[in-house]
Protein backbone atom coordinates (compact mmCIF):
# COMPACT_ATOMS: atom_id res chain seq x y z
CA UNK A 1 0.00 0.00 0.00
CA UNK A 2 2.17 2.79 -1.35
CA UNK A 3 -0.11 5.63 -0.34
CA UNK A 4 -2.69 6.38 2.33
CA UNK A 5 -4.31 9.19 0.38
CA UNK A 6 -8.12 8.83 0.46
CA UNK A 7 -7.90 5.46 2.22
CA UNK A 8 -10.79 4.92 4.62
CA UNK A 9 -9.45 4.04 8.07
CA UNK A 10 -11.10 3.06 11.34
CA UNK A 11 -8.99 3.10 14.50
CA UNK A 12 -10.20 1.78 17.85
CA UNK A 13 -8.91 3.21 21.12
CA UNK A 14 -8.08 6.46 19.30
CA UNK A 15 -8.91 8.79 22.18
CA UNK A 16 -5.29 9.04 23.35
CA UNK A 17 -1.91 7.34 23.24
CA UNK A 18 -0.99 5.07 20.36
CA UNK A 19 -4.43 5.26 18.75
CA UNK A 20 -4.40 9.06 18.70
CA UNK A 21 -0.92 9.17 17.19
CA UNK A 22 -1.90 6.70 14.46
CA UNK A 23 -5.03 8.71 13.71
CA UNK A 24 -3.13 11.99 13.45
CA UNK A 25 -0.33 10.56 11.32
CA UNK A 26 -2.68 8.76 8.94
CA UNK A 27 -4.83 11.88 8.58
CA UNK A 28 -1.70 13.91 7.91
CA UNK A 29 -0.83 11.34 5.22
CA UNK A 30 -4.15 11.97 3.47
CA UNK A 31 -6.32 9.16 4.83
CA UNK A 32 -10.00 9.56 5.70
CA UNK A 33 -9.90 8.70 9.38
CA UNK A 34 -12.68 7.55 11.67
CA UNK A 35 -11.42 7.63 15.26
CA UNK A 36 -13.36 5.54 17.78
CA UNK A 37 -13.16 5.13 21.53
CA UNK A 38 -15.46 4.57 24.51
CA UNK A 39 -14.58 8.07 25.80
CA UNK A 40 -16.11 10.77 23.61
CA UNK A 41 -14.29 13.64 25.32
CA UNK A 42 -10.93 12.06 24.49
CA UNK A 43 -12.01 11.61 20.88
CA UNK A 44 -12.66 15.34 20.69
CA UNK A 45 -9.02 15.88 21.66
CA UNK A 46 -7.91 13.62 18.80
CA UNK A 47 -10.12 15.49 16.35
CA UNK A 48 -8.68 18.80 17.59
CA UNK A 49 -5.14 17.57 16.89
CA UNK A 50 -6.11 16.70 13.33
CA UNK A 51 -7.97 19.98 12.75
CA UNK A 52 -4.87 21.94 13.79
CA UNK A 53 -3.31 21.19 10.39
CA UNK A 54 -6.58 21.53 8.48
CA UNK A 55 -7.43 17.85 8.43
CA UNK A 56 -10.79 16.23 9.03
CA UNK A 57 -11.61 13.38 11.34
CA UNK A 58 -14.89 11.58 11.94
CA UNK A 59 -15.29 10.46 15.55
CA UNK A 60 -17.65 7.76 16.83
CA UNK A 61 -18.15 6.34 20.30
CA UNK A 62 -17.53 2.58 20.14
CA UNK A 63 -17.44 -0.23 22.66
CA UNK A 64 -15.42 -2.94 20.92
CA UNK A 65 -16.95 -5.64 23.11
CA UNK A 66 -20.51 -4.86 21.96
CA UNK A 67 -21.29 -6.58 18.62
CA UNK A 68 -24.45 -4.51 18.10
CA UNK A 69 -22.54 -1.26 18.61
CA UNK A 70 -19.90 -2.47 16.16
CA UNK A 71 -22.61 -3.34 13.61
CA UNK A 72 -24.16 0.13 13.93
CA UNK A 73 -20.79 1.83 13.52
CA UNK A 74 -20.07 -0.21 10.41
CA UNK A 75 -23.44 0.69 8.87
CA UNK A 76 -22.95 4.40 9.60
CA UNK A 77 -19.37 4.40 8.40
CA UNK A 78 -20.21 2.59 5.16
CA UNK A 79 -23.10 4.95 4.46
CA UNK A 80 -21.18 8.15 5.18
CA UNK A 81 -17.63 7.28 4.05
CA UNK A 82 -17.84 4.09 2.00
CA UNK A 83 -16.43 0.60 2.65
CA UNK A 84 -13.46 0.39 4.98
CA UNK A 85 -9.94 -0.18 3.65
CA UNK A 86 -7.81 -0.13 6.81
CA UNK A 87 -8.91 -1.47 10.20
CA UNK A 88 -6.66 -0.73 13.18
CA UNK A 89 -7.50 -2.84 16.24
CA UNK A 90 -5.74 -0.77 18.87
CA UNK A 91 -8.12 -0.58 21.85
CA UNK A 92 -6.71 -2.35 24.87
CA UNK A 93 -6.58 -2.31 28.66
CA UNK A 94 -4.18 -3.65 31.27
CA UNK A 95 -4.23 -4.41 34.95
CA UNK A 96 -1.14 -5.87 36.55
CA UNK A 97 -0.45 -7.57 39.86
CA UNK A 98 -0.50 -10.99 41.40
CA UNK A 99 -2.96 -13.24 39.57
CA UNK A 100 -5.27 -13.77 42.54
CA UNK A 101 -4.84 -10.16 43.69
CA UNK A 102 -6.66 -9.01 40.55
CA UNK A 103 -10.43 -9.33 40.63
CA UNK A 104 -11.87 -11.98 38.32
CA UNK A 105 -14.01 -9.31 36.65
CA UNK A 106 -10.85 -7.44 35.66
CA UNK A 107 -9.33 -10.61 34.19
CA UNK A 108 -12.47 -11.16 32.11
CA UNK A 109 -12.61 -7.54 30.98
CA UNK A 110 -9.03 -7.67 29.73
CA UNK A 111 -9.85 -10.67 27.56
CA UNK A 112 -13.07 -9.08 26.31
CA UNK A 113 -11.35 -5.86 25.22
CA UNK A 114 -7.94 -7.17 24.14
CA UNK A 115 -8.97 -10.46 22.50
CA UNK A 116 -12.69 -10.58 21.77
CA UNK A 117 -12.84 -6.93 20.69
CA UNK A 118 -10.45 -7.40 17.74
CA UNK A 119 -12.28 -10.60 16.78
CA UNK A 120 -15.65 -8.79 16.79
CA UNK A 121 -14.31 -5.87 14.73
CA UNK A 122 -12.55 -8.16 12.27
CA UNK A 123 -15.66 -10.31 11.83
CA UNK A 124 -17.72 -7.20 11.06
CA UNK A 125 -15.32 -5.46 8.68
CA UNK A 126 -13.43 -8.30 6.98
CA UNK A 127 -15.95 -8.60 4.10
CA UNK A 128 -15.35 -4.91 3.32
CA UNK A 129 -11.58 -5.39 3.40
CA UNK A 130 -11.81 -8.41 1.09
CA UNK A 131 -13.93 -6.50 -1.40
CA UNK A 132 -11.40 -3.66 -1.78
CA UNK A 133 -8.52 -3.84 -4.31
CA UNK A 134 -6.05 -3.49 -1.44
CA UNK A 135 -6.61 -3.30 2.29
CA UNK A 136 -4.94 -3.73 5.66
CA UNK A 137 -5.86 -5.29 8.98
CA UNK A 138 -3.58 -3.90 11.69
CA UNK A 139 -3.61 -5.53 15.11
CA UNK A 140 -1.73 -3.80 17.91
CA UNK A 141 -0.59 -6.65 20.12
CA UNK A 142 2.35 -6.46 22.52
CA UNK A 143 5.79 -7.96 23.11
CA UNK A 144 4.10 -9.58 26.12
CA UNK A 145 2.45 -11.90 23.58
CA UNK A 146 5.84 -13.44 22.80
CA UNK A 147 6.83 -14.73 26.23
CA UNK A 148 5.64 -15.22 29.79
CA UNK A 149 5.18 -11.98 31.76
CA UNK A 150 4.76 -12.47 35.53
CA UNK A 151 2.39 -10.02 37.24
CA UNK A 152 0.66 -9.39 33.91
CA UNK A 153 -0.49 -12.94 33.25
CA UNK A 154 -3.91 -12.28 31.77
CA UNK A 155 -2.77 -9.21 29.86
CA UNK A 156 0.01 -11.26 28.23
CA UNK A 157 -2.41 -14.10 27.49
CA UNK A 158 -4.96 -11.75 25.94
CA UNK A 159 -2.31 -10.20 23.70
CA UNK A 160 -1.03 -13.65 22.74
CA UNK A 161 -4.57 -14.53 21.67
CA UNK A 162 -4.67 -11.37 19.56
CA UNK A 163 -1.35 -12.25 17.94
CA UNK A 164 -2.60 -15.75 17.16
CA UNK A 165 -5.73 -14.25 15.62
CA UNK A 166 -3.54 -12.13 13.34
CA UNK A 167 -1.30 -15.00 12.26
CA UNK A 168 -4.18 -17.40 11.64
CA UNK A 169 -6.20 -14.75 9.80
CA UNK A 170 -3.25 -14.01 7.51
CA UNK A 171 -2.86 -17.71 6.68
CA UNK A 172 -6.59 -18.09 6.02
CA UNK A 173 -6.67 -15.05 3.74
CA UNK A 174 -3.66 -16.24 1.77
CA UNK A 175 -4.99 -19.78 1.42
CA UNK A 176 -8.32 -18.34 0.26
CA UNK A 177 -6.76 -16.29 -2.53
CA UNK A 178 -7.14 -12.96 -0.70
CA UNK A 179 -3.52 -11.93 -0.53
CA UNK A 180 -4.52 -8.35 -1.27
CA UNK A 181 -5.74 -8.13 2.34
CA UNK A 182 -2.58 -7.77 4.36
CA UNK A 183 -2.39 -8.37 8.09
CA UNK A 184 0.14 -6.45 10.19
CA UNK A 185 0.97 -7.85 13.64
CA UNK A 186 2.46 -5.13 15.86
CA UNK A 187 4.36 -6.23 18.98
CA UNK A 188 5.99 -3.27 20.75
CA UNK A 189 7.75 -3.30 24.08
CA UNK A 190 6.74 -0.71 26.69
CA UNK A 191 5.12 2.38 25.17
CA UNK A 192 4.52 5.72 26.88
CA UNK A 193 0.77 5.58 26.23
CA UNK A 194 -0.16 6.05 29.89
CA UNK A 195 -1.40 2.46 30.28
CA UNK A 196 1.84 1.19 31.79
CA UNK A 197 2.54 3.87 34.37
CA UNK A 198 5.35 2.66 36.62
CA UNK A 199 6.43 -0.33 34.52
CA UNK A 200 10.18 -0.73 33.93
CA UNK A 201 11.73 -1.40 30.53
CA UNK A 202 13.87 -4.58 30.44
CA UNK A 203 17.53 -4.38 29.49
CA UNK A 204 18.30 -4.04 25.76
CA UNK A 205 14.96 -2.27 25.25
CA UNK A 206 13.74 1.28 25.71
CA UNK A 207 10.50 3.10 26.34
CA UNK A 208 8.89 3.75 22.95
CA UNK A 209 7.27 7.07 22.20
CA UNK A 210 3.73 6.75 20.84
CA UNK A 211 4.50 9.00 17.89
CA UNK A 212 7.62 6.96 17.07
CA UNK A 213 5.58 3.75 17.10
CA UNK A 214 2.90 5.32 14.91
CA UNK A 215 5.56 6.30 12.38
CA UNK A 216 6.88 2.73 12.30
CA UNK A 217 3.35 1.38 11.79
CA UNK A 218 2.65 3.71 8.87
CA UNK A 219 6.03 2.84 7.35
CA UNK A 220 5.20 -0.86 7.67
CA UNK A 221 1.86 -0.34 5.92
CA UNK A 222 3.43 1.62 3.07
CA UNK A 223 5.98 -1.15 2.53
CA UNK A 224 3.54 -4.08 2.83
CA UNK A 225 5.10 -5.51 5.98
CA UNK A 226 3.36 -8.21 7.98
CA UNK A 227 5.24 -8.01 11.29
CA UNK A 228 6.51 -5.14 13.40
CA UNK A 229 8.46 -6.07 16.53
CA UNK A 230 10.05 -3.05 18.17
CA UNK A 231 12.58 -2.13 19.48
CA UNK A 232 14.95 -4.37 17.53
CA UNK A 233 15.87 -6.56 20.51
CA UNK A 234 12.28 -7.84 20.62
CA UNK A 235 12.79 -9.56 17.26
CA UNK A 236 15.29 -11.98 18.80
CA UNK A 237 13.04 -13.03 21.66
CA UNK A 238 11.09 -15.80 19.82
CA UNK A 239 14.33 -17.14 18.33
CA UNK A 240 16.07 -17.20 21.71
CA UNK A 241 13.09 -18.93 23.31
CA UNK A 242 13.02 -21.62 20.63
CA UNK A 243 16.77 -22.32 20.65
CA UNK A 244 17.79 -21.99 24.29
CA UNK A 245 17.14 -24.64 26.95
CA UNK A 246 14.19 -23.61 29.06
CA UNK A 247 16.25 -23.07 32.19
CA UNK A 248 18.77 -20.95 30.28
CA UNK A 249 16.06 -18.86 28.66
CA UNK A 250 14.37 -18.27 32.01
CA UNK A 251 17.69 -17.15 33.48
CA UNK A 252 18.21 -14.87 30.49
CA UNK A 253 14.77 -13.32 30.96
CA UNK A 254 15.49 -12.79 34.63
CA UNK A 255 18.76 -11.07 33.78
CA UNK A 256 16.95 -8.84 31.29
CA UNK A 257 14.47 -7.84 33.97
CA UNK A 258 11.43 -9.15 32.09
CA UNK A 259 10.10 -10.95 35.15
CA UNK A 260 10.15 -7.75 37.20
CA UNK A 261 9.07 -5.27 34.53
CA UNK A 262 5.41 -5.22 35.61
CA UNK A 263 5.96 -5.51 39.37
CA UNK A 264 6.19 -1.74 39.62
CA UNK A 265 3.05 -1.04 37.54
CA UNK A 266 0.87 1.37 39.51
CA UNK A 267 -2.03 2.11 37.19
CA UNK A 268 -3.16 4.14 34.22
CA UNK A 269 -1.94 7.68 33.71
CA UNK A 270 -4.71 10.17 33.03
CA UNK A 271 -4.07 11.25 29.40
CA UNK A 272 -5.05 14.81 30.33
CA UNK A 273 -2.68 15.10 33.29
CA UNK A 274 1.12 15.17 33.33
CA UNK A 275 2.82 13.34 36.17
CA UNK A 276 6.48 13.02 37.12
CA UNK A 277 8.16 9.84 38.31
CA UNK A 278 11.35 9.47 40.27
CA UNK A 279 12.54 6.49 38.22
CA UNK A 280 14.06 7.64 34.90
CA UNK A 281 13.39 4.19 33.41
CA UNK A 282 9.68 4.37 34.13
CA UNK A 283 7.23 4.57 31.26
CA UNK A 284 5.70 7.54 33.04
CA UNK A 285 8.89 9.54 32.53
CA UNK A 286 8.27 9.58 28.77
CA UNK A 287 4.57 10.49 28.75
CA UNK A 288 4.94 14.21 28.05
CA UNK A 289 5.34 13.80 24.28
CA UNK A 290 1.85 12.40 23.76
CA UNK A 291 -0.11 14.32 26.34
CA UNK A 292 -0.07 17.70 24.65
CA UNK A 293 -1.85 18.24 21.34
CA UNK A 294 0.75 20.71 20.16
CA UNK A 295 3.56 18.23 20.83
CA UNK A 296 1.62 15.56 18.99
CA UNK A 297 1.26 17.78 15.94
CA UNK A 298 4.95 18.73 15.99
CA UNK A 299 6.05 15.10 16.12
CA UNK A 300 3.67 14.04 13.36
CA UNK A 301 4.77 16.84 11.05
CA UNK A 302 8.40 15.90 11.59
CA UNK A 303 7.76 12.20 10.97
CA UNK A 304 5.73 12.77 7.82
CA UNK A 305 8.41 14.98 6.36
CA UNK A 306 10.89 12.14 6.84
CA UNK A 307 8.76 9.47 5.14
Task: Provide the annotated active-site residues.
Answer: 155
Q: Are the beta carbons of 8 and 84 closer than 8 angstroms?
A: yes
Q: Are the beta carbons of 236 and 288 closer than 8 angstroms?
A: no
On the 0-12 / 13-18 / 19+ scale of CB atoms within 10 A, 302 is exposed
- Using the CB atoms, write b or e for 98-116: b if 16+ within 10 Å: eeeebeeeebebbbbbbbb
d(CA 207, CA 216): 14
- Report the chain's C-alpha Rg in angstroms: 18
d(CA 244, CA 252): 9
On the 0-12 / 13-18 / 19+ scale of CB atoms within 10 A, 43 is buried
Amino acid sequence: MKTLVDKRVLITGAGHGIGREIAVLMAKSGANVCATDVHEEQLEGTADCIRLFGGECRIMVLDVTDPENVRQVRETLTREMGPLEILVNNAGIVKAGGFTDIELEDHLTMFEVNSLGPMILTHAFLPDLINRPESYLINISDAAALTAIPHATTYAASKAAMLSLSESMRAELQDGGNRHVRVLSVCPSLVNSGMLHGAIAPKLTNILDCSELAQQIVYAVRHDHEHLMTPRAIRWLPLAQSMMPKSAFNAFKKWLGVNNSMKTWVGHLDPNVLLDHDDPNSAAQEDTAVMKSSATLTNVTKHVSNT
